[in-house]
Structure 1
Amino acid sequence: MGSWKAFVLIRLVRLALVLAGVAVVAFLLAKLSPVDPIDAYLGPDIARVGPEQRALIAQKWGMDQPAGVQFAKWFSSILTGDLGWSVTYNASVADVISERFRSSIVLMGLAWLFSGIIGFSLGIWAGANPGRWSDRIIRLYAYVLAATPTFWIAILLLIVFSVGLRWTPVCCAAPIGVLPEDVTLLQRLHHLLLPLAALSILGIAQIALHTRVKMIEIMQSDFVLYARAQGGTTLDIVLRHGVRNAALPAITVLFASLGELFGGSILAETVFSYPGLGSATIEAGLRGDVPLLLAITLMTTLFVSIGNTIADVLYHVADPRISSASETWREVSQ
């Protein structure tokens, strides 16, 4: 019990330090950005706004103060739960993130789930049959798509299925002109199909490659040779020995890929005009919406850090030898 308390405490301290470091770096990058927030906010009206009005806007936003003072006020507001105001959407940052996150979590959650299940299954199959035609096909698929940009996959799917075959919608999360309360579940799934496919295809490749390598190592181990000598079939060995041992690297890669999944969702949502957190990130960057951009950055950091922590916990649960080795090392060092 004490080891788990220490583990949680260390993780919380590390998370706090990471968030503080990301906040500093993100704020500095926002200040060094060539996009002027006031110019981006004014847009076409910039020619009709004089220096005095620009100064009033800067004063209202607190941009007339030194960078250190701006950071201190912003960071103190973050600690009190005030994420600021988004000039892009003319709403509080908390409301924008809450609304957009509900759309993105469905897309990213399903893509993450499908990537794990399908990628792990393909990796197990390829690793259990190395060198066969099925293994070659899976490796070719994984190697090609692992090096393929998400936006290229999204554009290709859009051209083939939406423009060419006209099986799927071209954009958005619901039919254009339909009120949100009138949109059916089937219509939402229809619009979700292509963005989900674009995100899942790339995630499957990474999980499959890592699982295949581990599965080949397992199939060449001594206990598998012993199981074969006792008359065990390949299917029986895979189900009894391979799945659990191969799950360890798959779990790690799956949870560690949350950051890449969010990055991919930004590109996929942009291509399909999907109103999620990814498209909000692009809009915040183009419009110089610093409060929204910084809040999304911190939220993404928290999201990825929690995913990595869950991966560590599951790793210890799946393989108790890791916990035993850590406790033994702690006793020896004392």
Structure 2
Amino acid sequence: MKAINGTNRNLARFLIGKAIRLASLLAAISVISFLLVSRSPIDPTQAYIGADMMRVSPEQRAQIAEYWGLDKPPAERFIQWGSALLSGDMGTSMIYREPVADVIRERFLSSLALMITAWILSGLIGFIAGAVAGMKQNTWIDRLIKWYCYTLASTPAFWLGLVLVIVFSVWLGWFPVSLGVPAGVLAENVTIGDRIYHMILPALTLSVIGISNIALHTRQKLIDVLSSDYMLFARARGERGFGLFRRHGLRNIAIPAITLQFTAFSELFGGAVLAEQVFSYPGLGQATVEAGLRGDVPLLLGVVLFSAVFVFAGNAIADLIYRFVDPRMKERRSL
């Protein structure tokens, strides 16, 4: 009973500490992001008008700025935006003419399927590749996997996406060049198969890039485990190959790999922004780029805050898993 109460208290302290850190992080990001946006060389009013700039009179321009609150000083606009944010209102997107929360929700659902697919594929393939490289240390298999990882670790996501488009879409014609659904098809006629078919190349781009970190980390961790005393003792008893890995190595390398995979949310989100732009995929990443280029301040600030929460959640889940799975963390809490 005491152990359960102690665990609950530790969990409560952990969650309260994370909540305080998240609140302070969002406050700092809000201030810094608003300062950067207010000093941007892009004029939101001019970006909002677009190509019709020559047909808009100065009076109409002033009315547009007044309607969106762009004629007020930055400090006043920040206070007004922050007050609305605290009440749950993230503002209205200047591009989509919809509430920012609705735009983020709709676009994130499209990005979520892409990111989850890439996240699972990169984690599984990276873990298997790292385990194989660790078990086959200093062989041609190990050198091949390391070469692959080091090459992709320095490869930009947008460049790899362009290469995949050229090879598989233009030359071979196996996959569509862009978009998340077939062009000219009504939304009610789009099937799940169509969405998956259009998602293959963007997901492949993200997953291939994300394999490197997890594979190299798993390889090094397994090498350290194989050189430990208890592994030498297991080999002395005659254990070899996959049985040795399954009984003594798998759990020791799985915990760090899972933790690292959850902390990769920031790289996943950043890669999704580039991949969606290359493939014109209608997700949150493409909305972020459009908001930045067209001066949509409310949407840009909303996406920044949402991405901060998304990345923070991944790191918090990784910490939570490590605390409950790693026996050494349990021993520290009991001291």
What interval of TM-score do these two structures reach, taking the shorter chain for normalisation?
over 0.9
TM, length-normalised to structure 1: 0.96
Contact 2:206 2:268 in 1 (8 A): yes
2:5 corresponds to which residue?
A: none
1:232 aligns with 2:239: yes
Aligned AA (2:273): I
For the residues of structure 1 that align with 2:232 and 2:307, how far apart are their CA atoms? 45
2:307 corresponds to which residue?
A: 300
Where does the alignment leave 5 or more consecutive residues of structure 2 unmatched? 1-7
Render the CA deviation track for 1:62-82: whole Å, top value 9, x for unaligned: 122221111111111111111
Aligned AA (1:197): L
Aligned residue for 1:120, secondary structure, equals helix
Aligned AA (2:80): K
1:9 Cα offset (Å): 0.6
Render the CA deviation track for 1:158-188: whole Å, top value 9, x for unaligned: 0000000000001111110001111122221
Render the CA deviation track for 1:308-327: whole Å, top value 9, x for unaligned: 00000111122121242255
1:110 corresponds to which residue?
A: 117
Aligned AA (1:42): I
1:87 Cα offset (Å): 1.4
1:324 corresponds to which residue?
A: 331
2:83 corresponds to which residue?
A: 76
Aligned AA (1:27): F
Contact 2:34 2:301 in 1 (8 A): yes
For the residues of structure 1 that align with 2:214 and 2:187, how far apart are their CA atoms? 36
Q: Return the match for 2:150 from 139, 143, 149.
A: 143
2:172 corresponds to which residue?
A: 165
Aligned residue for 2:259, secondary structure, equals helix
1:49 corresponds to which residue?
A: 56
Count of matched residue pairs? 328
Query: 228-237 or 163-172: which moved more?
Result: 228-237
Structure 1's 2 and 150: CA in aligned 2 closer, same or farther, altered over 3 A? same
For the residues of structure 1 that align with 2:75 and 2:276, how far apart are their CA atoms? 34
For the residues of structure 2 that align with 1:154 and 1:242, how far apart are their CA atoms? 35
1:59 aligns with 2:30: no
Q: Return the match for 2:34 from 27, 32, 46.
A: 27
1:290 aligns with 2:290: no
1:54 Cα offset (Å): 2.0
Q: Return the match for 1:191 from 188, 191, 198.
A: 198
For the residues of structure 2 that align with 1:180 and 1:146, how far apart are their CA atoms? 37
Render the CA deviation track for 1:223-266: whole Å, top value 9, x for unaligned: 10011111111211211121111123212221111111111111
Give me the identity figure in percent.
51
Query: 147-156 or 179-188: which moved more?
Result: 179-188
Aligned AA (1:65): K
1:278 corresponds to which residue?
A: 285
1:331 corresponds to which residue?
A: none
For the residues of structure 2 that align with 1:205 and 1:121, how far apart are their CA atoms? 12
Aligned residue for 1:86, secondary structure, equals coil
1:332 corresponds to which residue?
A: none
Q: Return the match for 1:120 from 103, 106, 127.
A: 127
1:131 aligns with 2:138: yes
Q: Return the match for 1:10 from 13, 17, 26.
A: 17
2:209 corresponds to which residue?
A: 202
Aligned AA (1:95): D
1:98 corresponds to which residue?
A: 105
Aligned residue for 1:166, secondary structure, equals coil
For the residues of structure 2 that align with 1:326 and 1:54, how far apart are their CA atoms? 62
Aligned residue for 2:184, secondary structure, equals coil
Where does the alignment leave 5 or more consecutive residues of structure 1 unmatched? 329-334
For the residues of structure 1 that align with 2:213 and 2:18, how far apart are their CA atoms? 26
1:53 Cα offset (Å): 2.0
The Cα RMSD (Å) is: 1.1
2:3 corresponds to which residue?
A: none
Query: 245-254 or 215-224: which moved more?
Result: 245-254
Aligned AA (1:169): P
Query: 50-59 or 285-294: which moved more?
Result: 50-59
Query: 147-156 or 181-190: which moved more?
Result: 181-190
Q: Return the match for 1:218 from 181, 205, 225.
A: 225
Aligned AA (1:142): C
For the residues of structure 1 that align with 2:322 and 2:179, how far apart are their CA atoms? 38
